[in-house]
Structure 1
Amino acid sequence: MNTHRGDIAGFRLAGRTWISELGTWSSAVSAEGRPVSALRFDSRLIARPGARDRVVGAVVADRRLIQGGLAGLVPVADLIGAQDEVWLLTADPVSPTVTDLLAEAPGAPRPDAGSAATVLAETAQTLLAVHSAGLAHGALHPGAVVIAPGGTALLAERGLVDALHGRPPAPERDVASWASLARGLAATWAASSPRAADLFERTAAIASTRGLAAARDALLTGRDLLPPGFPSRDRLVETVHWWTTRETSPPAGPSVPAQAAPARVDEGEIVTLLHVPEATRAPETGGGRTEDVVMRFGPGVPTETTAERIWRAGRDQQPTVLPGERLRTVRPPAVRRRRTVLSSVILALMVVAGLIAWLLRGAAAPLAVSEVEVITPKKVQGCDTTVKIRGVLTTNGEAGEIHYQWKRSDRRAPIEQTDTVAAGETSHEVSLEWTVKGEGTFKGTATLRLLSPVPEGAKIEDRASFTYKCS
């Protein structure tokens, strides 16, 4: 797919981009003029065997949850492929996130302890609903918690990291990540409210020992320790409005002169990777099962065909018969019963075979990290600069997750993050960007500490400093 003209299947890229574990996110505008977002998956991850199909399954599962009434997930508008690229298009923007609001930009209104409690309560409720459906988020962190314009906390990237890496759902990983989020908000947004911060610390401990439902209940029971007005979202709404206004303010001048704008480039055929709902599938010859239909949209195809309208809105409740086929009558009950019995037997055999394969495969060695190293620039940094700090973690080459934190000498609150490490790699690099402005001399020290996996009683961390001078 050629995206130089900034147009992805009707979504216009709006300029802001940021990197996630999945690939590159871009702010965008839908054909109707609404703010949305677009994710271009990392080509190496989506090319892994079965990754694309697993991503499709995760997105379809999300759609079913949302159709069932779950309002805590960022809805997906489409999942498309063109040439070697795969894009996820969301129906709502996936920014700002809690990570964005934690950045403490000059002049920004700061969310309070009540805002933190609102985020924790709503994310806990969404995770409980996801877990009850036999699913998990898989990579919960502040950058995956989106704050909507109305101050509601939504979860983005649900199940996508697990899908790319072929991992089964692990609700216990979500619980540990939620507890980490609670501790992080206790140290930041609730720093000026000691009683609320203590409540968040206690709910984090309850989540780790008694589960997420007990932690949510403890949080709501302790509302007397929160600022008056909880669960009002006024402070969150104010912060999001400030952040959105800053991000969408027009640039100082056009980046490309009008006469130099690139010509429209044919981006090739775009194929939606999502299955069409039951109402728009054609009956398969000879049985009650229906085949999935792949809808294709792209250059040369009308922007709003009947098939596309049905597929997107689900307004037609009658089956669609494809050309060359005719609508079949329903088979008699006896035939359907025989097919059901046969399908059950086949499914049982597949389950037994899968269980035997799992028992015979042996246990893989867990991921281990032996040391970390922090690398900072050697030369003195000049006025108004962003210092790029690298951290290198040495591993045993196994796959797994690492949970770590950056600590800056100019801030009390650490920055916690979680990364996934692929098998076969004996080192993993992380980074920290530190912006320094103003006149004077400053020495900054960055500390990288591994939180897990860490042997009991061990402490794996490293620190390094840089010098800033502006006169």
Structure 2
Amino acid sequence: MHDGGSVAGHRLTGRVRISELGTWHDAVAPDGTPSGLLRFEQRLLADPAARDRLVAAVGADRRLQQGGHSGLLPVADLVTARGDVWLISGRRAMPTVAELLTDGGRTPDSGSAATILVETAQALLTVHAAGLTHGALHPGTIVIGEDGTAMLAERGLLEALRSEPTSVERDVAAWSGLARGLAASWAAGQSAQLLDRAAAMAATRGLSAARDTLLGGRDLLPAGFTTRERLVQTLHVWSAADVPTAPPPPAVPETGEMRTLLDPGVIRAQDPAGPGAPADGSGMRFGPGVPVDTTAAQIWRQGRNQSTQHTPDLRGHVSGPAAAGRPSKRRTAWAGSILLAILIAAVILWLRQAPGLALEVAKVDVQAPKKVQGCDSTAKIVAVVSTNGGAGTFSYVWEQSDGRKIHETQRVESDTKSLDLPLLWKVTGTGSLKGTATLRILDHTATGKPIQDKASFSYKC
């Protein structure tokens, strides 16, 4: 927990949620509007290059945002404050779809699920058109706004901090898994079949076709779903419920140590066009075989041209002839030789790297205690999940025969081919019970469909 009551003028409320990147805090902006702050885990920033990649990723989102593209959780700033790095969002960063999935007693309807899928598909299409990817799409990175709109959060951040390979295909597979998960959790009958068809369409024909499948099947969804009333009602109930909070921080005034990382010089230095790209942006391409000047390309070019030649670097120094003076020809030639060697080495390294393997869950094996459990005991049930060794995040749900459901997501690092998912089932009172626990893997399966296994134990007191 941060040691002060606010960061960059945003007052922390105490409500938090844990992310793969750090801790999200609910906050109130200086003008009184809701906001969100993500405090990154310091271990993820141990490599100086990770911070540079983070600045580049956040700067890319800012350019899309400034170009009028919605669908992403809006970024207000990226700052350092008292030894931590914070991402500040212009809207609340909670709840996520994962939090609403976990809250099984207040379930939105299939219309809400379809709305979320349509909006996230459209947002991903915009991201992909700009030559970018999300890289970590799952229920925990989709934020539901106060009006029921779905926004993608943490776009490109996991890839930036961990330097993990990603691709459009991985985003599409993750969206397909999301559709199947929502079909299993929030829909039934024809509505569930519609969401499953959209998932299959994404895998075979892409997100545009999947989105159109949902729009064309609106007659199979509950009446009035386009107003998002059911989803907004769920949000109101969620907001009033008990959620994870941190102790209220002491009211310590800001000390002036806060520094933004998104000044014009930083954004320009991390231009996605990369070193050596033409200054007019003519070397940029958005999509294979598309030589035309796309809207996304115009956005990137406008963002780059807004920077002047005399801009501060990461240390606050000013670049350009006025600050550095005119370099000698010998120095210029020497620097050019070094730069050329670095570029050649980088190209060789890039060519030798194999593309990252996408995560696929092959099977699951659930094991329960064979010994009869005694009075007031806790049965430990373990599911052994086998994968193909790829990196990614999958969603799963534990279902107990007493009606309890636990929805979670699990991050899997590359080269991990087996992991355990434990479940603790506490039973009290006199009598006997046969408890059955079922684990369902909702997405990223080898077959493309949810897979499951179950096991039972006996209790006697």
**2:212 maps to which residue?**
217
In structure 1, distance between residues paired with 2:317 and 2:344? 40
Name the CA shift for 1:370/1:124 in 2 (closer, same or farther; >3 Å). closer
**1:200 maps to which residue?**
195
In structure 1, distance between residues paired with 2:200 and 2:357? 28
Secondary structure in 2 matching 1:36? strand
Name the CA shift for 1:413/1:175 in 2 (closer, same or farther; >3 Å). farther
Name the CA shift for 1:129/1:4 in 2 (closer, same or farther; >3 Å). same
Residue-by-residue CA offset, 1:260-283 (whole Å, 9 max, x unaligned): x957387672222223379999xx
In structure 2, distance between residues paired with 1:104 and 1:198? 23
In structure 1, distance between residues paired with 2:5 and 2:52? 26
Residue-by-residue CA offset, 1:219-268 (whole Å, 9 max, x unaligned): 1111122222342211112111222233599x9xx978xxxx95738767
Deviation (angstroms), 1:176 = 0.9
In structure 1, distance between residues paired with 2:43 and 2:78? 17
In structure 1, distance between residues paired with 2:216 and 2:183? 17
- 2:263 pairs with 261, 275, 279, which one? 275
TM-score by length of 2: 0.70
Worse-superposed segment, 63-72 or 407-416: 407-416
Name the CA shift for 1:56/1:454 in 2 (closer, same or farther; >3 Å). same
Deviation (angstroms), 1:468 = 8.4
Name the CA shift for 1:95/1:183 in 2 (closer, same or farther; >3 Å). same
1:244 counterpart = 2:239: yes
Name the CA shift for 1:265/1:141 in 2 (closer, same or farther; >3 Å). same
Name the CA shift for 1:183/1:27 in 2 (closer, same or farther; >3 Å). same
Residue-by-residue CA offset, 1:43-77 (whole Å, 9 max, x unaligned): 22222352111111111111111111111111112
| 1:69-84 matched pairs, under 5 angstroms | 69-82=68-81, 84=83
**1:401 maps to which residue?**
392
Worse-superposed segment, 61-70 or 345-354: 345-354
In structure 1, distance between residues paired with 2:132 and 2:20? 20
Secondary structure in 2 matching 1:50? helix
Q: In structure 2, give the amino acid aligned to 1:122.
A: E
Deviation (angstroms), 1:372 = 6.7
In structure 2, distance between residues paired with 1:131 and 1:279? 20
| 1:317-396 matched pairs, under 5 angstroms | 354-361=346-353
In structure 1, distance between residues paired with 2:368 and 2:82? 40
Name the CA shift for 1:244/1:415 in 2 (closer, same or farther; >3 Å). closer
| 1:18-167 matched pairs, under 5 angstroms | 18-48=17-47, 50-82=49-81, 84-104=83-103, 106=105, 108=106, 110-167=107-164
Name the CA shift for 1:442/1:162 in 2 (closer, same or farther; >3 Å). farther
Worse-superposed segment, 92-101 or 345-354: 345-354
Name the CA shift for 1:380/1:183 in 2 (closer, same or farther; >3 Å). farther
In structure 2, distance between residues paired with 1:381 and 1:53? 56
Residue-by-residue CA offset, 1:290-346 (whole Å, 9 max, x unaligned): xxxxxxxxxxxxxxxxxxxxxxxxxx99999999989989xxxxxxxxxxxxxxx99
Secondary structure in 1 matching 2:133? coil
Secondary structure in 2 matching 1:183? helix
**2:168 maps to which residue?**
171
Name the CA shift for 1:354/1:420 in 2 (closer, same or farther; >3 Å). same
Identity %: 48
Name the CA shift for 1:23/1:380 in 2 (closer, same or farther; >3 Å). farther
Q: In structure 2, give the amino acid aligned to 1:115.
A: S
Secondary structure in 1 matching 2:102? coil
Q: In structure 1, give the amino acid aligned to 2:33.
A: R
**2:411 maps to which residue?**
419
Q: In structure 1, give the amino acid aligned to 2:150.
A: A
Secondary structure in 1 matching 2:15? strand
Secondary structure in 1 matching 2:263? coil
TM-score by length of 1: 0.69
Name the CA shift for 1:364/1:279 in 2 (closer, same or farther; >3 Å). closer
Contact 1:406 1:432 in 2 (8 A): no
Secondary structure in 2 matching 1:137? coil
In structure 2, distance between residues paired with 1:362 and 1:395? 19
In structure 2, distance between residues paired with 1:24 and 1:389? 29
In structure 1, distance between residues paired with 2:351 and 2:82? 39
- 1:235 pairs with 222, 230, 238, which one? 230
Secondary structure in 2 matching 1:227? coil
Contact 2:79 2:258 in 1 (8 A): yes
Name the CA shift for 1:446/1:168 in 2 (closer, same or farther; >3 Å). same
Deviation (angstroms), 1:213 = 0.7
In structure 1, distance between residues paired with 2:360 and 2:101? 30
Contact 2:136 2:393 in 1 (8 A): no
Name the CA shift for 1:353/1:419 in 2 (closer, same or farther; >3 Å). same
Q: In structure 2, give the amino acid aligned to 1:150.
A: D
In structure 2, distance between residues paired with 1:265 and 1:348? 49
Deviation (angstroms), 1:178 = 1.0
Deviation (angstroms), 1:409 = 2.8
Unmatched segments (≥5 aa) in structure 1: 282-288, 290-315, 330-344
Contact 2:309 2:319 in 1 (8 A): no
| 1:424-463 matched pairs, under 5 angstroms | 444-448=435-439
Residue-by-residue CA offset, 1:20-39 (whole Å, 9 max, x unaligned): 21112222222222222221
Name the CA shift for 1:36/1:131 in 2 (closer, same or farther; >3 Å). same
Contact 1:80 1:273 in 2 (8 A): yes
